[in-house]
Amino acid sequence: MLRVGLTGGIGSGKSEVSRRLADHGAVLIDADVAAREVVVPGSPGLARIAATFGERVLRPDGSLNRERLGEIVFADPGLRAKLNEIVHPLVRAWMQAAERTAVQAAGPPGPIIVHDVPLLAESRGKDAFDLVIVVDVPPGRQVERLVSQRGMAPDQARARMAAQASREQRLAVADIVIDNSGSLDDLDGRVAEVWADLERRAAA
């Protein structure tokens, strides 16, 4: 088994990379999926969030109002840290369980498992993985994408970026860097190269 951490800043195109790696045969375990699963209505995670931030972060149907919660925590690093203290351990446990399932289902030599973790540099670090892939684009390109693709105002985009690790902090944990500042065809070629490298490492 080869355990790979995949990360990148908001607007880097990390999801495009994870989809391509899955197409090549990677088992993808997505922290964003995990983060949704651990706060479904009735879950201990959602109960703790409501107790910490108040009923205002719940929708009328009892589900989490992510937009409202985001507005609250992105404006206050202390509250963001409180949220992370609740969610990160739950996400980690969910992903570990998903990995165990994948390993049991795969034959030898075991799967190449890609953990898609947006906040890897902020939370888990690289020690949990055999290697870390960072999807990298210049900050100006991130802002362009967030404005054009997600409809954010430039100031909002920059605030979201500032709430994450810096580009330098992400690159510091990278074993492999995928430059995604070019075209999708460029990205296809680079991901294919990286996948061949991962297969070699897994076989070794």
Q: What CATH code would you report for 32-107?
A: 3.40.50.300
Closest CA to 198 of 109, 104, 124: 109
The answer to whether residues 73 and 79 touch, using CB atoms and an 8 Å cutoff, is yes
Which residues are bridge partners to 115 per DSSP?
Answer: 5, 29
The answer to whether residues 34 and 98 touch, using CB atoms and an 8 Å cutoff, is yes
pTM of the model: 0.85
32-107: same fold as 1-26+111-204? yes
H-only helix segments in 9-166: 14-24, 31-37, 44-53, 66-74, 77-105, 139-150, 154-162
Report the pLDDT value the prediction gives residue 164, as an integer from 0 to 100. Answer: 87
Report the pLDDT value the prediction gives residue 124, as an integer from 0 to 100. Answer: 62
pLDDT digits (tens, 9 = 90+) for 119-137: 888 876 678 899 999 999 9
Find out whether the peptide bond into 109 is cis, omega within 30 degrees of 0.
yes
Ranges of each domain in the chain: 1-26+111-204, 32-107
Report the pLDDT value the prediction gives residue 132, as an integer from 0 to 100. Answer: 97
How far, in Å, CA of 154 to CA of 122, rounded?
A: 23
Question: Which residues of the chain have a pLDDT value below 50?
Answer: none
pLDDT digits (tens, 9 = 90+) for 72-100: 998 888 999 999 899 989 998 999 999 99
How far, in Å, CA of 45 to CA of 204, rounded?
A: 40
Q: How many helices (H) and strands (E) does the chain have?
A: 9, 5
Report the pLDDT value the prediction gives residue 104, as an integer from 0 to 100. Answer: 85
The answer to whether residues 7 and 178 touch, using CB atoms and an 8 Å cutoff, is no
Report the chain's terminal Cα–Cα distance, integer Å.
10
Report the pLDDT value the prediction gives residue 198, as an integer from 0 to 100. Answer: 96
Domain 1-26+111-204 belongs in CATH node 3.40.50.300: yes
